[in-house]
Amino acid sequence: MSVLDDRPAAHDRIVAKQNGIFRSILMRSHARVVVIGGGLVGCSILYHLTKLGWTDVVLLERDELTSGSTWHAAANIHGLHDNNNISKLQYYTMQLYQQLEDETGQGCGIFRTGSLYLAQTRDREHQLRIQAAKARYFGVDFHELSIAEAQALHPLIDFDGIRCVMLEPDGGSVDPSGVTHAYAQGARERGADIHRFTPVIETNPRADGGWDVVTPSGTIQADVVVNAAGLWGREVAKLAGFELPLMTMEHQYLVTEEIPEIAAMEERLPSVADRDGEYYLRQEGTGLLVGAYERDGRFWAEAGTPLDFGHELLPDDLDRIEENILRACARIPTLAAAGVKRVINGPMIWSPDSSALFGPVPELQNYYCCNGIIPGFSQSGGLGMLLAQWIVEGEPELDLFPWDMARYGAWATKTFTKARALDCYAHRFKIHFPYEERDAGRPVRTRPVYERQKAMGAAFGLSYGWEHPLWFAGNGEAPIDEYGYERQNWFAPVAAECQALRSSVGVIDISNYAKYEIKGPGAAQWLDRLVANHVPSEIGRSCLTPMLGVRGGIAGDFTITKLDDEHFLMIGSGIAERYHARFFRMVPRTDSLIVRSLSDAWAGFNVAGPKSRALLQRLTNEDLSTASFPFMRSRRMRVAGIDATALRVSFTGDLGWELHVDQGDQQALYDALFEAGADLGLRAVGSRSLLSLRVEKGYGSWGREYSPEYWPQEVGLDRLIKLDKSDFLGRAAYLALKDRPPREKLVSLAVDATTADALGGEPIFTTDGEPVGRVSSGAYGHSVDTSLALGFIKTEHAVPEQEFDIAILGRPHRARLLPEPLFDPKGTVLRA
Ligand SMILES: Cc1cc2nc3c(=O)[nH]c(=O)nc-3n(C[C@H](O)[C@H](O)[C@H](O)COP(=O)(O)OP(=O)(O)OC[C@H]3O[C@@H](n4cnc5c(N)ncnc54)[C@H](O)[C@@H]3O)c2cc1C
């Protein structure tokens, strides 16, 4: 059965278009922004641009509005997401639809029926309870129902085997076309132009930083271009000369004939999220709509979305989703007896982690993306608002790194993207456990010591494309994560790694750090304009420094070392390499100044712990005593005959050195360290241990404690901002906020936890139940024998020794605000 039969109008429309009837005449030759793509997302971006006051904006659509994935979507909407900021955006979106309808008069087909979330397993119950606790923090209604209450709301469900049910009263569905047209209308009413049947066929950069956007109807000079071309995101990106890691896949749902029990009901049924059953279900008319992400997903148009694909659907293949549908029938027995009225098999386009590819393209000027959107109806408002903020205000108000297109580099090849897209599709409703590392598409990039680390029992994770050791299994243990919400199988090996490092010495692979060389005339001045601290003036000195964002928050944190005159090494978060590039572009430089990444060419180890000096001293003739080589100093030196740049810095809080060497020397250095350190108890230490060690010391990390969302005075980095120097990125914004009291404070907490530690994202309540903060990082502190968390707490509550409740696994766990870090609070070990 095909719904193509239901759409005779589509054919007439295409013929009319071919005859040129709909060809539009461009109203403007210039626009501040041209949005390419009139799907749900492009229209939302246009709408939000006009809401921020940019009305000289144009949207160009190849066909009719909604001509990509939008028109055939099931259009279910949900609020909660595992990521707090994405939850905020989804709530915003859900509320927006009603406002949009009121504002424009265009019906959005909103059915706020509520959504029932069912848990069949203990882990799913944990997931729902975690989300319920977060909802309480956000002030959103997401609460548990008894089975009897749930049964009263949805009499057709067989609740046998259901452990827990939650209700999201705002959940439901919308009309895809109505919502898209409402955004379009709202934008038009504020002055935006929308041209349908106007395909963009070229985008050419202009010397003034803008773009010539070429269509068969003429060219528009745009200050800014936005790629919101949905299914054609890849093709539109290619017009500007870059690639997006996206892959198209088929997705199916069916709609039943009338079900008499539903026809007889007065109230509409709530939608059902039975994720253990791997299907979604809601009422459609007097029948039901059931959709599924099957395990055996199908790619579509792998080589590129056909340019003439319009309001078409793909041939049905219900056999592929049969298992899922049977599970739905078991849960809702009336479904089994219902006839199928229509089947929708439509394409949707996936990024490697199923999250958006969002934000300015770092290598281009004034070119933004908003692609790879899977739950578009849950996210369109938030995406549109934040992209509009980015364009108009220079930066979105929320940290969006999990959506930032810069999280992928050229390493995200087509093979990788395909493998990940298939994996994401097949596991759409699977629980994504904390610390989850997906195997699909790996390895992509390995360092020379990969095989050696593997032989040593390393369990690897993916770090900006690199295989990176997370923990090392002991004898007889398999280096495989066994996932769950409670402490996992790597808890004991990580404890052993941490104890070895704190009591003797450990080697941590830090090759995944981002490393930049800045060399040539004006190197110091360029850095001075980039970062907020004074750049070291003495050769061999290092400094820590924040880089401020457009709103004055923490856009980056770096260690900068002066290697020589006009020659610096800058080290920062490896996952942010392409993100950093955006900021580097903002500071002008001459052609003679070299700013280049050494991240791929160099590898590195952090040798740390009380015996690190003794170990390294065996391998070098340099004097490593504090008198000769103090904290925050660096030196080029030979270690085991290998040229290394050695920095005496520490992210573990312990005595230690970072050694950075040519990647070709990595294996020889690793071998030499283990040979020399055997009798000292040297141990390979992975990044899960590093998390525990830094949390013991109260050190923040970029993406967790440091983000553009946080003000320097909230995270204690204001002391590193030097206003006595000339202009630097974010200076004016920081001046405007520096005297404002911090909204929240970054604090360390000791937690009463026995089976599960905080992970990050958990809400923090006062002991009276008032939401006052959230955890940013959590770990068990093995050397201080305490479960720990770093988190943000409203300033008025951030009082030492104050007690709180952290909702771990959704249940309160008492926590105490620590007046100082538990490990080495005075820094004596660090400087020993
Ligand atoms: C079967 C199915 C069910 C779904 N169900 C849900 C659901 O229940 N809930 C949910 O939230 N999401 C759902 N989705 C996903 C949702 O449809 C998408 O997230 C959303 O439609 C993406 O919108 P978009 O604007 O990014 O892309 P698209 O809808 O693909 O729009 C892109 C637009 O760009 C235009 N365009 C492309 N190239 C050019 C060019 N060169 N010049 C000018 N214009 C161009 C296209 O014609 C098109 O109109 C579903 C998807 C499918 C396939």
Distance, in Å, from the CA atom of 708 to the CA atom of 547, rounded to the nearest integer, reads 9
Strands 683-685 and 542-548: unpaired
Nearest atom within ligand 1 for CA of residue 68: 30
Output the CA 281–ligand 1 centroid distance in Å.
20
pLDDT digits (tens, 9 = 90+) for 633-643: 999 999 999 99
Output the CA 332–ligand 1 centroid distance in Å.
30
Output the CA 747–ligand 1 centroid distance in Å.
42
Output the CA 8–ligand 1 centroid distance in Å.
21
Q: Please give the average per-residue pLDDT across 240-256, as a whole number.
A: 98
Percent of the chain with pLDDT over 70: 97
SS3 61: coil
Output the CA 372–ligand 1 centroid distance in Å.
9
- Reply yes or no on whether the pLDDT at 790 is more than 50: yes
Q: Whose CA is nearest to atom 14 of ligand 1?
A: 73
Average pLDDT, the chain: 95
CB atoms within 10 A of CB 319: 10
| Cα within 13 Å of Cα(476), Cβ side | 0
Q: Whose CA is nearest to atom 2 of ligand 1?
A: 73
Output the CA 374–ligand 1 centroid distance in Å.
9
Output the CA 672–ligand 1 centroid distance in Å.
55
pLDDT of residue 1: 25
Distance, in Å, from the CA atom of 708 to the CA atom of 320, rounded to the nearest integer, reads 44
Nearest atom within ligand 1 for CA of residue 251: 1
pLDDT digits (tens, 9 = 90+) for 515-570: 999 999 999 999 999 999 999 999 999 999 999 999 999 999 999 999 999 999 99
Q: Please give the average per-residue pLDDT across 755-769, as a whole number.
A: 96
pLDDT digits (tens, 9 = 90+) for 6-30: 333 433 444 444 444 444 567 789 9
Q: Please give the average per-residue pLDDT across 462-483, as a whole number.
A: 95
Residues in the chain, overall count = 832
- Reply yes or no on whether the pLDDT at 805 is more than 70: yes
Output the CA 767–ligand 1 centroid distance in Å.
45
Output the CA 727–ligand 1 centroid distance in Å.
43
Query: If you write DSSP's letter for every residue of 149-184 in order, what string do you get?
Result: HHHHH-TT---TT--EEEEETT-EE--HHHHHHHHH
Q: Please give the average per-residue pLDDT across 256-275, as a whole number.
A: 97
Contact 585, 362 (CB under 8 A): yes
pLDDT digits (tens, 9 = 90+) for 148-170: 999 999 999 999 999 999 999 99
Return the best residue to mutate from 225, 226, 348 for the ligand 1 pocket (most ligand atoms within 8 A of CB): 348
pLDDT of residue 24: 55
Q: Please give the average per-residue pLDDT across 361-385, as a whole number.
A: 97
Q: Is 698 exposed, middle or buried (0-12, 13-18, 19+ CB in 10 A)?
A: buried
Output the CA 382–ligand 1 centroid distance in Å.
16
Q: Whose CA is nearest to atom 31 of ligand 1?
A: 39
Could you give the residue ranges of the DSSP H alpha helices within 477-599?
491-503, 523-530, 577-586
Q: Please give the average per-residue pLDDT across 132-157, as a whole number.
A: 95
Query: What DSSP designation does 706 have?
Result: B
| Cα within 13 Å of Cα(581), Cβ side | 20
Nearest atom within ligand 1 for CA of residue 37: 34
User: Is residue 742 reached through a cis peptide bond, with omega within 30 degrees of 0 on the bond before it?
Assistant: no
CB atoms within 10 A of CB 626: 14
Output the CA 176–ligand 1 centroid distance in Å.
10
> What pTM value is reported for the model?
0.95
Nearest atom within ligand 1 for CA of residue 373: 19
The tokens for 48 are 């939000």
Q: Is 716 exposed, middle or buried (0-12, 13-18, 19+ CB in 10 A)?
A: middle
CA distances from 772 to 141, 717, 737 (A): 18, 22, 22
Nearest atom within ligand 1 for CA of residue 253: 1
Residue 675: pLDDT band with limits 50, 70, 90:
very high
Output the CA 387–ligand 1 centroid distance in Å.
17
pLDDT of residue 4: 27
CB atoms within 10 A of CB 815: 29
Contact 249, 421 (CB under 8 A): yes
Return the best residue to mutate from 69, 320, 349, 383 for the ligand 1 pocket (most ligand atoms within 8 A of CB): 69
Nearest atom within ligand 1 for CA of residue 67: 49
Nearest atom within ligand 1 for CA of residue 44: 25
SS3 201: coil
Query: What DSSP designation does 678 have?
Result: G
pLDDT of residue 475: 85
Task: Return the CA Rg of the chain.
Answer: 28
Contact 144, 135 (CB under 8 A): no
Residue 135: what residue type?
A
Q: Please give the average per-residue pLDDT across 402-414, as a whole number.
A: 97
pLDDT digits (tens, 9 = 90+) for 743-752: 999 999 999 9
Nearest atom within ligand 1 for CA of residue 40: 25
Distance, in Å, from the CA atom of 104 to the CA atom of 321, rounded to the nearest integer, reads 39
Nearest atom within ligand 1 for CA of residue 376: 19
Nearest atom within ligand 1 for CA of residue 379: 11
The tokens for 362 are 């770092």
Output the CA 307–ligand 1 centroid distance in Å.
14
Output the CA 705–ligand 1 centroid distance in Å.
34
Distance, in Å, from the CA atom of 45 to the CA atom of 391, rounded to the nearest integer, reads 10
Q: Whose CA is nearest to atom 35 of ligand 1?
A: 37
Q: Whose CA is nearest to atom 26 of ligand 1?
A: 230
Return the best residue to mutate from 23, 70, 275 for the ligand 1 pocket (most ligand atoms within 8 A of CB): 70
pLDDT of residue 310: 82
CB atoms within 10 A of CB 620: 19
Output the CA 348–ligand 1 centroid distance in Å.
7
Query: If you write DSSP's letter for every residue of 591-648 in order, what string do you get?
Result: TTSEEEE-TTTEEEEEEESTTHHHHHHTT-SS--STTTS-TTBEEEEEETTEEEEEE-
CB atoms within 10 A of CB 445: 18
Q: Whose CA is nearest to atom 10 of ligand 1?
A: 375
Q: Please give the average per-residue pLDDT across 598-620, as a whole number.
A: 98
Nearest atom within ligand 1 for CA of residue 370: 26
Q: Whose CA is nearest to atom 50 of ligand 1?
A: 73
pLDDT digits (tens, 9 = 90+) for 61-96: 999 999 999 999 999 999 988 888 999 999 999 999
Between the two ends of the chain, the Cα-to-Cα distance in Å is 75
Distance, in Å, from the CA atom of 50 to the CA atom of 188, rounded to the nearest integer, reads 9
Q: Whose CA is nearest to atom 25 of ligand 1?
A: 39
Nearest atom within ligand 1 for CA of residue 239: 41
CA distances from 392 to 37, 53, 380, 401, 407 (A): 19, 9, 18, 19, 22
Nearest atom within ligand 1 for CA of residue 231: 30
Which residues are CB-neighbours of 646 under 8 A, at least 6 positions away? Answer: 622, 629, 634, 635, 636, 637, 639, 657, 658, 659, 660
Query: If you write DSSP's letter for every residue of 779-825 in order, what string do you get?
Result: EEETTTTEEEEEEEEEGGG--TT-EEEEEETTEEEEEEE-SS-SS-T
Residue 311: pLDDT band with limits 50, 70, 90:
confident
Output the CA 106–ligand 1 centroid distance in Å.
20
Nearest atom within ligand 1 for CA of residue 347: 53
Residue 125's nearest CA partner among 488, 485, 427, 487 is 485
Distance, in Å, from the CA atom of 509 to the CA atom of 687, rounded to the nearest integer, reads 8
pLDDT of residue 28: 85
Q: Please give the average per-residue pLDDT across 248-267, as a whole number.
A: 97
List, chain by chain if needed, residues with CB within 6 Å of any ligand 1 atom.
36-42, 60-63, 67-70, 72-76, 199-200, 228-232, 236, 251, 253, 344, 346-348, 373-378
Output the CA 389–ligand 1 centroid distance in Å.
22
Could you give the residue ranges of the DSSP H alpha helices within 171-246?
176-189, 233-239
pLDDT of residue 824: 96
Which residues are CB-neighbours of 491 under 8 A, at least 6 positions away? Answer: 780
pLDDT digits (tens, 9 = 90+) for 178-196: 999 999 999 999 999 999 9
Output the CA 247–ligand 1 centroid distance in Å.
13
Contact 620, 637 (CB under 8 A): yes
Q: Whose CA is nearest to atom 51 of ligand 1?
A: 73
Distance, in Å, from the CA atom of 612 to the CA atom of 625, rounded to the nearest integer, reads 11
